[in-house]
């Protein structure tokens, strides 16, 4: 099956699918410098934790490719400035900072090289981060697809598919693999208010792969669970802390709480690049608040609420570790107790 890829790289620019237009139009945005990448991430032309990490790594390359002094210290200073700038584009997904840090460490380890070589190194590292991300997704899917049994109905929220990664996807990757293996199952996709990543992108990806999909409003998940329709939940993550709490698209926490109430397994599919070794609890995860127009205006054009109304618009929520049945990573499945087992998998192998 064809990979769904959000980003294409070239030596002097990056071409990204403008995900705000999906599924009505497949339009591209062309990024030629770090400002273009910053804006594409902030405006969510590109979105999803692993995908914005990859975009940021390429953004760093675009931000240093025209640096024209021979002074290596100045080059490092410039690189650090671009990293600070790109890191500030969106606060919650740790993959963004993780990818920039990976590139920075590569440069620092090779700082004796000529500047042209360092530029090449940054480009190659961005390419590697992108390719590795595809491998990670495939490996996670390999570990998890067996959890889906014949006749299962699975629920997901937001878009954790090819468009949110370098291709293939985290939670959706599990569905793709199950389909590839001939498993008969179906997916209920939450539309995901306010930006409708579920309706616009997840439904589009699943349809392309020929997976039986039913779109629901977020508020319909509870009654489907009560009726016994939903057998498993698979979601992605933007940041997992060392105790197993995690941030994901707003609405994930209520689904996790409902799944617990109805004794439905709740799985989080996330590569280790989404795990934040520095944070011990979900309380410390910075949550992004976005513009009120996302809620009050249909596609930012037509008002659907009285003007001047107060709006609360966090893009993510934090789900407690105790609601998670297991994490699926590229190194295997992590089960509770998370404080011990997450460290074990992170420290044991990369």
Give the number of other CB atoms < 10 A from CB of residue 287. 16
122 or 206: CB nearest ligand MRU: 206
Q: Is 155 exposed, middle or buried (0-12, 13-18, 19+ CB in 10 A)?
A: buried
Number of residues that bind ligand MRU (CB under 6 A): 17
Structure tokens at 55: 């975009």
| Minimum distance, C-beta of residue 34 to ligand MRU, in the bound complex (Å) | 19
| Minimum distance, C-beta of residue 151 to ligand MRU, in the bound complex (Å) | 26
Q: Does 6 bind ligand MRU (CB under 6 A)?
A: no
Q: Which part of the chain contacts ligand MRU (CB under 6 A), choosing from 77-85, 145-153, 163-171, 303-311?
A: 163-171
Question: Which residues from 11-70 bind ligand MRU, rule CB under 6 A?
Answer: 47-50
Q: Does 276 bind ligand MRU (CB under 6 A)?
A: no
| Minimum distance, C-beta of residue 144 to ligand MRU, in the bound complex (Å) | 13
Q: Which part of the chain contacts ligand MRU (CB under 6 A), choosing from 118-126, 160-168, 183-191, 255-263?
A: 160-168
Which is the catalytic residue, given 238, 245, 276, 317?
238
Question: Which residues from 217-256 bind ligand MRU, rule CB under 6 A?
Answer: 236-238, 248-249
Residue closest to ligand MRU when measured from CB atoms: 236
107 or 167: CB nearest ligand MRU: 167
Alpha carbons 83 and 97: distance in angstroms, whole number: 8
Q: Are strands 232-235 and 153-156 parallel, antiparallel or unpaired?
A: parallel
| Minimum distance, C-beta of residue 273 to ligand MRU, in the bound complex (Å) | 10
34 or 133: CB nearest ligand MRU: 133
Active site annotation includes 238: yes
Q: Closest Cα to residue 251, out of 284, 291, 220?
A: 220
Locate all alpha helices (DSSP H) within the chain, ordered by sequence: 34-42, 49-64, 72-87, 94-109, 115-144, 171-180, 197, 203-208, 221-226, 252-261, 293-296, 338-348
- φ and ψ at residue 177, rounded to 5 degrees: -65, -45
119 or 232: CB nearest ligand MRU: 232
64 or 206: CB nearest ligand MRU: 206
| Minimum distance, C-beta of residue 266 to ligand MRU, in the bound complex (Å) | 14
Alpha carbons 330 and 140: distance in angstroms, whole number: 5
Q: How many helices (H) and strands (E) does the chain have?
A: 12, 15
Residue owning tokens 């990979």? 3
Tell which phi-psi region holds residue 151, choosing left (phi > 0), alpha (psi between -120 and 50) or beta.
Answer: left
48 or 79: CB nearest ligand MRU: 48
Using alpha carbons, list the distances in angstroms from residue 228 to 65, 87, 223: 55, 42, 9
Residues catalogued as catalytic: 238
Residues that bind ligand MRU in the complex, under the rule CB under 6 A: 47-50, 93, 158, 160, 164-165, 170, 197, 236-238, 248-249, 315
């Amino acid at each position: 099956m064809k990979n769904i890829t959000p980003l294409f790289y070239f030596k002097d620019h990056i071409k990204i699918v403008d995900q705000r237009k999906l599924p009505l139009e497949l339009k591209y945005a062309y990024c030629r410098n770090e400002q273009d990448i910053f804006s594409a991430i902030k405006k969510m032309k590109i979105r999803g934790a692993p995908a914005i990490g990859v975009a940021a790594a390429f953004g760093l390359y675009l931000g240093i490719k025209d640096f024209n002094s021979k002074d290596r210290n100045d080059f490092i200073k410039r690189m650090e400035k671009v990293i600070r700038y790109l890191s500030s584009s969106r606060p919650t997904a740790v993959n963004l900072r993780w990818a920039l840090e990976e590139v920075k460490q590569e440069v620092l380890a090779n700082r004796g090289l000529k500047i042209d070589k360092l530029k090449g190194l940054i480009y190659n590292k961005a390419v590697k981060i992108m390719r590795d991300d595809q491998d990670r997704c495939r490996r996670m899917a390999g570990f998890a697809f067996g959890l889906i049994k014949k006749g299962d109905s699975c629920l997901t929220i937001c878009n954790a598919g090819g468009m949110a990664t370098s291709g293939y996807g985290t939670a959706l990757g599990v569905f793709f693999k199950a389909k590839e293996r001939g498993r008969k199952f179906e997916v209920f996709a939450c539309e995901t208010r306010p930006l409708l990543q579920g309706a616009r992108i997840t439904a589009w990806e699943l349809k392309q792969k020929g997976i039986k999909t039913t779109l629901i409003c977020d508020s319909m998940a509870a009654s489907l669970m009560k009726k016994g329709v939903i057998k498993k939940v698979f979601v992605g993550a933007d940041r997992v802390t060392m105790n197993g709490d995690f941030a994901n698209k707003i609405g994930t926490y209520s689904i996790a709480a409902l799944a617990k109430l109805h004794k439905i397994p709740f799985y989080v599919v996330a590569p280790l690049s989404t795990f934040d070794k520095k944070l011990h609890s979900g309380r410390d995860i910075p949550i992004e608040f976005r513009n009120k127009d996302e809620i009050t205006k249909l596609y930012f054009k037509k008002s659907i609420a009285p003007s001047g109304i107060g709006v609360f618009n966090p893009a993510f929520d934090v789900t407690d570790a105790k609601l998670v049945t297991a994490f699926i990573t590229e190194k295997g499945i992590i089960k509770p107790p998370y404080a011990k087992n997450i460290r074990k998998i992170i420290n044991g192998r990369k």
